[in-house]
């Protein structure tokens, strides 16, 4: 998980740089010269603030995705038979194959997966579902990650993580309004202050560090497996 932590640190530094720029601009005499230079300084500042929301949400979703990709790689490397998986992981596997069957265009295209599942249940095969493959037929989340959803996603693997953080819901809601065109960047950023963004940034990255740690503990304790 060290690479994930390293990337999370880079994303935090990017957010710090944006916030430093916003603080500088708010206290700069040059900000009033925007119209002289052909742009509206206020609109630019509010749009950058809204951009911070996208940056924070991307840090959340990217971190969760990379953690799950790595988690699948680790589980695959263990050559686990179905009966060796914990109960939550067994349910996730069953749901995956059921979704494959439902989303396949016909019985012929789903037949290889049905045979694969049959061999897996019989104990003749081992866990080999990558996170990318899982996501093709069973999306655990899609643009809707907040702390409640993260808790739910991790629970599907049997990862016990119960900490909530309301800031993530605020970020998710604003991100979705921007993505769906319900708000312009200027509108979304108008209600945000630099101190508010500072708090959102600190709480977001602290939460994601705890998320990574909980997954790391799950891996270290081999909780994906019935011991």
Residue 195 domain-assigned (yes or no) = yes
Residue 95 domain-assigned (yes or no) = yes
Residue 179 domain-assigned (yes or no) = yes
User: Global pTM?
Assistant: 0.91
Whether the per-residue pLDDT at 159 is higher than 70: the answer is yes
Residue 225 domain-assigned (yes or no) = no
Range of the domain at 102: 2-220
DSSP-assigned beta bridge partners for residue 225: 85
Number of domains the chain is built from:
1
Residue 227 domain-assigned (yes or no) = no
Residue 92 domain-assigned (yes or no) = yes
Residue 226 domain-assigned (yes or no) = no
Q: How far is CA 139 from CA 33, 51, 142, 200, 225, in A?
A: 48, 26, 7, 27, 23
Looking at every residue in the chain, the average pLDDT score rounds to 91
Residue 11 domain-assigned (yes or no) = yes
Other C-beta atoms closer than 10 Å to the C-beta of 99 total 16
Task: Tell me how far apart the alpha carbons of residues 99 and 114 are, in angstroms, rounded to a whole number.
Answer: 11
* pLDDT tens profile 93-150: 999 999 998 888 788 888 888 888 998 889 899 999 999 999 999 999 987 899 999 9
């Amino acid at each position: 998980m060290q690479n994930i932590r390293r990337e999370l640190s880079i994303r935090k530094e990017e957010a710090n740089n944006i916030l430093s720029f916003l603080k500088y601009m708010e206290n700069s005499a040059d900000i009033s010269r925007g119209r002289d230079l052909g742009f509206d300084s206020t609109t630019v500042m509010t749009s950058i603030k809204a951009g911070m929301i996208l940056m924070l949400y991307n840090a959340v979703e990217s971190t969760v995705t990379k953690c799950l990709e790595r988690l699948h790689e680790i589980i695959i490397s263990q050559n686990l038979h179905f009966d060796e998986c914990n109960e939550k992981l067994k349910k996730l596997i069953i749901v995956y194959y059921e979704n494959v069957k439902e989303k396949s265009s016909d019985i012929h295209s789903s037949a290889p997966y049905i045979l694969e599942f049959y061999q897996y249940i019989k104990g003749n095969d081992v866990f080999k579902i990558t996170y990318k493959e899982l996501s093709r037929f069973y999306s655990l989340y899609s643009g809707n990650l907040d702390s409640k959803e993260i808790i739910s996603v991790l629970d599907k693997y049997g990862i016990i993580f119960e900490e909530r953080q309301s800031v993530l819901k605020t970020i998710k809601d604003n991100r979705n309004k921007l993505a769906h065109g319900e708000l312009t960047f200027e509108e979304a950023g108008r209600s945000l202050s630099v101190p508010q963004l500072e708090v959102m940034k600190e709480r977001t990255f602290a939460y994601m560090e705890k998320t990574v740690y909980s997954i790391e503990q799950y891996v270290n304790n081999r909780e994906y497996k019935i011991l």
